[in-house]
Amino acid sequence: MAKESTFDIVSKVDAQEVSNALNQASKEIAQRYDFKGTGASVEQNGELIVVTANAEERVKAANDVLESKLIKRGISLKSYETSEPKQSGKVYRIEGQIKEGIDQATAKKISKMIRDEGPKSVKAQIQGDELRVSSKSRDDLQAVIALLKDFEDADLQFINMR
């Protein structure tokens, strides 16, 4: 009897790369002429990333700088969720968060997609914040990876291919 092959689908972000992107963005905002006198800043408070400035368009521009730094560092914007700019006093704020792990709704969506569009021999099971995909055929597993490469709801990585 053939041994079953498996791999895991996860959504992880390198925390050090996020920290580096935040540092680069705050340095660029401090140096750029168009941010002078706007009070623009990028800070991380625990899990929350806070972008502030004294005007709505300036806070959006500062957030764009942060997003460009995240992309350069290899972090997908699918993992970075932001709120709309909110005014508190004289300051506008955008609050963002780096999303890790696959939530239940997204995991069910991926599992359904594998069942509906993937090869019939493939089984997917939800294990906490990741999915384990198994099949007797490695080719079927690679077909599932190809199917999920362009998944739009989350940044997915495929690990532990056995």
pLDDT score of 1? 45
What's the predicted TM-score (pTM) here?
Answer: 0.82
Same fold, 5-12+102-159 and 15-98: yes
Q: Are strands 80-82 and 91-98 parallel, antiparallel or unpaired?
A: antiparallel
Q: Tokens 């963005």 map to which residue?
A: 25
Residue type, 159: I
Per-residue pLDDT, 117? 86
How do the residues of the chain divide into helix, strand and coil, expressed in percent and rounded to 5?
A: 40, 30, 30
Pairing status of strand 48-53 against strand 41-45: antiparallel
Topology, domain 5-12+102-159: Alpha-Beta Plaits (3.30.70)
Cα 54 to chain centroid distance, Å, stands at 28
Mean pLDDT of the chain: 88
d(CA 153, CA 155): 7
Quickly name the fold that domain 15-98 has. Answer: Alpha-Beta Plaits (3.30.70)
Domains of the chain, by residue range, sit at 5-12+102-159, 15-98
pLDDT of res. 121: 86
